[in-house]
Structure 1
Amino acid sequence: MSDVKVYTVNGAVPGSSSSIPDWLTKTRTSKVKGKRALREHVEGQIELIQGFEFPEASNKIKTTRDGHHAIATGTYKPQMRVWDLDELTLKFERHGDAENVDFIILSDDWTKTIHLQNDRTVELHTQSGFHYRTRIPRFGRSIAYHYPSCDALVSASGNEIYRLNLEQGQFMNPLVLNAPEDEPILGINCIDINPAHQLLAFGIDGHASVHFWDLRSRSVVGVLNLPKGRIARSTGRAKVTLPGVDDQSSSDALAVTAIAARSDGLSYAIGTSTGHTLLYDIRSPRPFAFKDQGYGLPLKRVAWLDGGSRMAGDGMVLSADKKVVKIWDRNTPSSNFVSITPATDLNDIHHIPGSGLLLTANEGINMASYYIPQLGPAPRWASFLENITEEMEGQSVRNVYEDFKFIEKNELRTLGLDHLIGTPALKPYMHGYFVSLKLYDTARVIANPFAYAEHREKLVKERLEKLADTRIRTRKNGAAASVKVNKALAERIARDAEREQRREETKRARKAKKATKEGETDVADDAMSVDEEVVGEEQLTLLNDPRFKDLFENPDFAVNETSREYALLNPSSFAMKNANSSRRKTAVEDEDDESDKMSSDGLGSSGNESSEDGSESEDSSDAGELNKHDPRSRPGQQNARLQQAYSRAREANRQSNKVHFVPLVAQANAPTGKTNDKDAPFGQRLVSRQQSKSSAEPTSTVRLSADGGMEMTFIPSGTGDDDSPAVARKKKEVRKGVEVFGAGMERGVEEPKGEMSESERSGRKQRRKGMRSGSKNVFRQTSS
């Protein structure tokens, strides 16, 4: 049933102890009168029993048969505490010498108890205090009391049950349990005495079995073997053993850890070390119900919850390990009536008969108690629980962090409160401190007196911006209109989105074209309809995503591109921006800027200025556009607009007056004399050059064919005209006694005239000065 409500009336809420510190949920007050008394109040919870706790942990808890007192044992120091349930407070506490393993209550009230200690001793306590102590041969595990014979039965490691007769005051012969040699008994974990017919049941450690004894015959009356194959398959986690500490053979062995007999005298609930609970009828060796806890941990307690049930009905079973408590119906073991997960590991749990209240002993300071109204009514001494729980349903749980502020150490230093570290004013928690909210507000006002004014100004500005948004204004283009900060990021995101959209449109157009070629008209129509739908929808990006609206509107989210964090995250872009802003221009860049300026003013030859006769220049802007690559064109596709622009530019160049077409073939009616005309054809200029040379030493011949062709033969000559500049230069360079041959090779040395300088004799030893480096050379355009 999922609607079952569980109220924590003592202790911490399950799962809250790890997330909320103890000092934040408790208010402690001490009274220094005789001895120190400590009282705790848990905020937002009911503290049913005052002082329901132990200094470190609690081991076992039980209530007396008259229902007026609760007794529990715990540590540290080892002690026993008794609470008066009628007064809902601690009655007394009694310390011991060793930690308690188990105890039983002999009387109807709290006055007579027997305690089994972990140092192999058995202690008897009365109303006046400690009464008697005796020892047993082995370390005890469980204790029970047989009322008809006044025997205290103590189980221990081994196969013997020790009997201490309280009427005679001496030990009787122990009960010896026998087992097969291949499965020896390692110990006896638990003892149960049936309240109907006083049949003894012993849970065996070493193999999964239960031995039944009758003290009247002092012999075993039956052995119940559990189905090993079924209980060995646990769904829980594997048990972790420590090498050298845990015995591997004992840790893997199955064992019975808890037994509970029902008051009808026929049903038994048996819990195992693998986390399984089996329900048996004493008349059948097969279980009629099977339950798995799910953790694979040994069961601490099994119990029958009879009487007082409201919605649960009769025959409810409680099974608990150290992690979870489950209450379920014996007829439907697969579903849980309720499941409780304590905040700390569980050691013991006790159900108050005829009610819906559970008391637990655990590994925490506070002992927990849970009230389940659907399980049963509240006890007589806590009848007000029903009214309080009804009021709690309509109340909201108060947040425990309302009166405290969590701050880090840097903020603490900014507020000037770092000198309070180590004092009760600051509570260390995780990577910071909890400080009172009043102290935090006071320190913040002192550190920044204008904080209120700044906050008020910010609120006024936000309200004005909100009012300005409601005014009628022209509609801007999409999400880009709301960009106030991080405009570079917004532009980059818009470009990426536009590029992606263009790529998708191209892909869909190709798909539709391919489908049209293949004759699939339906597919093409579907593709076109999808295109129309996609065009109507706006692509979701950071710009139009409402979750990231503040990134482009709130100035607090503006990216500081000059900060050190930005430089660490974007080293390349940061270095490029600094380089562009800080470095000086080189001489080449200065001259390029100057030439660009001249071109823009109409002084250069490559601009778009008009000539004197009104015609356009050769270097028009259309000529440059012809070389541009169109990224939208595909391989093999021609751009009609570019072809038309190219045709117009070619026709304009042909009609221009500055363009002269010089034929390569010599014309028949060309003059034969020497000419320097630039418009003369190449053949004519070559013929005139040959005629100017000596006829005795021809260097080339040119013949014209009938069809207009030209044939040229060139024979290099070793000498030329004496009057030519080349011959004069050669004669000038000839030196006396020096023979020149090859390319730059000489034979013989000419005596130097005068004395040689030091640099001519030994070579240059210093760097040239006043020379322009090759990297600073500039190539200028010269106009014709």
Structure 2
Amino acid sequence: MRLTNSAVPVYTVSGSSTSRSLPDWLSQSQKRKKDPEYANRVELLQDFEFEEASQCVRISEDGEWAMSTGTYKPQIHTHYLPNLSLSFTRHTNTLNKTFLFLSSDYSKSVHLQEDRSIEFHTPGGCHASLRIPRYGRDLAYDRSSTELLVPAVGTNGNGMGEAFRINLELGRFMNAFEVDVGGDDTGGALQGGIGAGSVNVAAVAEASHNLIAFGTSQGTVEYWDTRSRARVATLATPADLEGRSEVTALTFHRSGISTAVGTSSGLIYLYDLRSPVPVLKKDQGYGYPIIYLEYLTPSSATRASVSEPKIASADRRILKLWDERDGTPWTSVEPAVDINCVAWCKDSGMFLTANEGRQQHSFFIPQLGPAPKWCSFLDNVVEEMADDPNDPQAFSRTKVGEIYDNYKFLTTSQLRMLNLDHLVGKTNLLRPYMHGFFVAQGLYEEARLIANPSSWEEERAKRVQEKIEKERESRIRGKKKITAKVNRKMVERILDREEKNEQRRAQRVLAQGGDEKPAPEVAETEEKGLLADSRFAKLFQDEDFAVDETSREFQQLNPSTKVAPASNLDREKGLTAVEEEAIDEVPRSEEDTSEEENAGRYRTTDRISTADYRRKPNKKQKKGDQMRMQVSSSGKSSTVRAPVDRSFGTRAENMHPVQRTKRSHGFGGTAGDKVITFEPGSKKSRASGKAAASSKGAPRQDRRSASGNTFRRM
């Protein structure tokens, strides 16, 4: 953000001049690597810009929507402020001159176009459109009668200027207000020729008496009563040597008594309705027409707002804020491009502008008010950017200036105070610029600490305090030794959890500013812990309570626990109950039964181990299993077996019962039936079978699909 040079600091949050100023020699070298404007930008609102320029900007009554119009091409941008994002963009057929919100949010708006058309927009788009007889200059909305007022240029048949009335409830034109604009008798200015009179601006006193005021090209202000639809009074601005200037801006105070009038010559008059003489005259200074006037009255009256009421006025060159009582300048904002429209976020110090540049501007004045709710983070950013009171060269509220990126501008006297004057002309650490030198920010900070010992002592005291608090926190936590003989991993997890709890407790004690004694029940709970409880002593001392994390039961109960590999993988363990039941249910042959009777039922040394269950068979074992031939007969059974393998997978495969099928026409008779089965395991045959299957069901390889859907590839 950029800080303008004024008695009251103004931060340019977004716009064409948001990056801090840099010398030419520095900006050119940095732009070769990275654009500094892009690196230092603060994008307050997403896409808060137009291709060429912006024409008008408004903020809704609820403060959550910002709508702006611009070119090229004619567009409408609507931003949702709580999300700091662009909600939608809409294009129009012609340029937009001005618009108004008809509702508290963005849902209903009316737009005055350059081609004498008026468009009514809703969230769905352009709801309706109509044409007015002559070109419009401004829009005003009377909520009490739901009438839209359109001041226009030119005169009617009676030689009077008109402000068209459109009743939105009835949906038709009403009799227009006839305003005296000094029309000629010839009728040559009927449709608005050169020198034709016009009604330039309109204002409605909604919060008070509901009078309507029209500013004309004659330099007069006419007040109309909506109840009688008649002219109440006419106010003429003071004339100068060139005559009366046109009235280009008009607004009412919330009380309805005071009126601010801006003219085309850059003069502002404050009137009390009880007197035709202006109470105050203010010169904007540049001679351009006034395009914006507003009383900066907050919604809730405070002592500051009552004692120092302020008014904001703007022409195409500058935005000024000044005192309502005596016209004393308070602060000003002068962007690099011309201003077309200004919108103030109520009860805050934020201003949004529509201007001739590509980017729309956002200005924040902290002394005027806090940041809006939708960008409350600006308050913290401004506090961080506040000047250091210990820095003798820092800019205070009475002297606000600019600080260059990563560099500090110092004069010769300031260099002498920092004992850096001996570097002038001897090194490139000091780069001459105008009446001073640029010094790297890091070098400036070090020199300032050396030249100002008090700042170094404060920094040292701060670091010592941080170190003391860190040691104090570690002392409160303490360290505990692990004395358990078994289940050490469980003890480590318990100690880790207790250490985290003590760390949080220590942080709470430090945050309260002292060592507070815990409650009696809390202290008793801390003294007794799970490890110090005598009831659970055997859990960490007796080997009978040791938890074997490599057992199958532990892995089934804790599937997500990662177990370290066992040191002895060849250690054999017995079968589980489920495995033993599965083996008992499988019928065995006579030879297997006789062998088991001779050798005994599954000795402990012959049981299947967990390591064997996990070990995968090698290629030779797979080949032997695939080429195995079994011959069984009713008379005598003989089995050609593969080499003995104690793995559970191999035993379970061999123990499946043989499915005997009765054949009416088979090999042999009832006494000599033989069944021969082969399991071919040739790689070529399997590869050919897979190729045949893929050629039938798989999609064509020459067709590539970008879809990520798995079912589209099946």
Higher relative contact order (CA 8 A, sep 6+): 2
- Larger Rg belongs to: 1
